[in-house]
Amino acid sequence: MHDVDTIDIAILKTLQREGRISNAALAERVGLSASACSRRLDHLEKSGVIKGYHARLAHKALDYRMIAIVNISLSGQFAKTLAEFEAAVKLCPNVLVCYLMSGEYDYTLRIAARDLEDYERIHRDWLSALPHVVKINSSFALREVIDRPNVGLG
Amino acid sequence: MHDVDTIDIAILKTLQREGRISNAALAERVGLSASACSRRLDHLEKSGVIKGYHARLAHKALDYRMIAIVNISLSGQFAKTLAEFEAAVKLCPNVLVCYLMSGEYDYTLRIAARDLEDYERIHRDWLSALPHVVKINSSFALREVIDRPNVGLG
DNA sequence: CCGGAAAATGAAAGGTCCTTGCAATGTCAG
DNA sequence: CTGACATTGCAAGGACCTTTCATTTTCCGG
């Protein structure tokens, strides 16, 4: 029914990079008429291939100037242990990213804070309260060198 | 000049969730006329508060399913050393994020790869070729627990 | 290879949306 | 208070979006 063909791929790649491009410009970019492009885009959205559109904001401009990378080890890898930790970490609004990891630590977190004082509060109120934690290692980002939304894009 | 005020915050939060909302709907959402809203949006984009708009695609449409966290130490912290490393790392399209860090390692990278074979290629062709590197430590994300674009939002 | 149904397309149209000019209002420092 | 500048709403013209419709393409069963 809805095969994702070459033109769809071109549409998706364009929208991945320029999510707010006009339908007219998008149509020209992929070599379709505006009406055909509009209908394909409608299909891609309604079929769930495109899950949403989002503005990417500068953390700095929103007064979250500090990024911390926090590595955490738990007391075990039982499913219940992981689930309880993850449920708790999801509640902290300052956690931007959290991955279950291979290697020395079990989880890697990326945390946004306004300043050092704010980070101290987050550490005290949130990180210290996470269950099953046996080791925490925090590092701070001194400067953002690269921040790309997707592979191969500016 | 131009503080990010309450209305700007409302605009940003809306665009965070609905990056392709029309300017007219956005204006009504935040209680402004369309023209005023359009001008504020223009300013937020040009001043760099909004770094871009991006479509979020379904996993079946995404080619890059593997995330690696790579920590790197350099042979020194001279400005020239850092600049040369950063210029080189910026050329690798698979690097999504790169921070200059405090702590044990100098840089933390987040890398997207199609699969393990693809990561091996990236490591061989790009990471091994980065200048001034004295230590590399790779970990792989087993599962994405949280991935938020910004603080306190979906 | 053929025929027909389903899907996709481009052109056109009307309705909506976006941006720019303009006058008025709001803000702030001197 | 005054002047300079930022911000606003309104209006208009131009751009854009979506729907309709006739046509073309695609895809199977026969």
Angle at A20 between CA A19 and CA A26, to 5 degrees: 85
Confirm if B123 and B56 have CB atoms less than 8 A apart: no
User: For tokens 């290629």, what's the residue?
Assistant: B121
- 3-class SS at A64? coil
Q: Is the dihedral of CA A110, A111, A116, A122 positive or negative?
A: negative
Distance (Å) from the alpha carbon of A117 to chain B's nearest alpha carbon: 17
Q: Which fold has domain B59-140?
A: Alpha-Beta Plaits (3.30.70)
A60-140 CATH, one of 1.10.10.10, 3.30.70.920, 3.40.980.10, 3.40.470.10? 3.30.70.920
How far is the C-alpha of B141 from the C-alpha of B144, rounded, in Å? Answer: 7
pLDDT in tens, A100-136: 999 999 999 999 999 999 999 999 999 999 999 999 9
How far is the C-alpha of A16 from the C-alpha of A22, rounded, in Å? Answer: 13
How far is the C-alpha of B117 from the C-alpha of B4, rounded, in Å? Answer: 45
Answer whether B6-46 and B59-140 agree in fold.
Answer: no
Cα atoms in the 13 Å half-sphere on the side-chain side of A24: 0
Confirm if B39 and B47 have CB atoms less than 8 A apart: no
Verify whether the Cβ–Cβ distance A55 to B50 is below 8 Å.
yes
- Could you tell me if B11 lies within 8 Å of chain A, comparing CB atoms? no
How far is the C-alpha of A89 from the C-alpha of B47, rounded, in Å? Answer: 33
Verify whether the Cβ–Cβ distance B61 to A48 is below 8 Å.
no
Task: State residue B151's pLDDT score.
Answer: 81
- 3-class SS at B81? helix
- Could you tell me if A90 lies within 8 Å of chain B, comparing CB atoms? yes
pLDDT in tens, A24-70: 999 999 999 999 999 999 999 999 899 899 999 998 878 888 999 99
Verify whether the Cβ–Cβ distance B139 to A17 is below 8 Å.
no
Structure tokens at A81: 């242990």
Largest CA distance in chain B: 57
Which nucleotides of strand C lie under 7 Å from a protein CB?
7-13, 16-21
B6-46 CATH, one of 3.20.20.70, 3.40.50.2000, 1.10.10.10, 2.130.10.30? 1.10.10.10
Chain A residue whose CA is closest to B104: A139
Residue among B20, B102, B149 whose CB faces A20 most closely: B20
B34 nearest nt, CA–C1':
C18
Structure tokens at A5: 């063909």
Question: A141: which residues sit within 8 A by CB, 6+ positions away?
Answer: A66, A67, A68, A69, B99, B100, B101, B102, B108
A4 touches strand D (CB under 7 A): no
- Chain A, 115 to 134: residues with Cβ < 8 Å from chain B are none
Structure tokens at B151: 């603080």
- In chain B, which residues have their Cβ closer than 8 Å to the Cβ of A101? 69, 139-142
- Chain A, 28 to 47: residues with Cβ < 8 Å from chain B are none
Residue B89's nearest CA partner among B77, B104, B103, B74 is B74
Residue B81 main-chain phi, psi, to 5 deg: -60, -50
Residue among A12, A17, A147 whose CB faces B97 most closely: A147
pLDDT in tens, B32-84: 999 999 999 999 999 999 999 999 987 666 678 899 999 999 999 999 999 99
Position A1 confidence tier, pLDDT thresholds 50, 70, 90: very low
β-strands B50-57, A95-101 pairing: unpaired
Position A154 confidence tier, pLDDT thresholds 50, 70, 90: very low
> What residues does each domain of chain A span?
6-46, 60-140
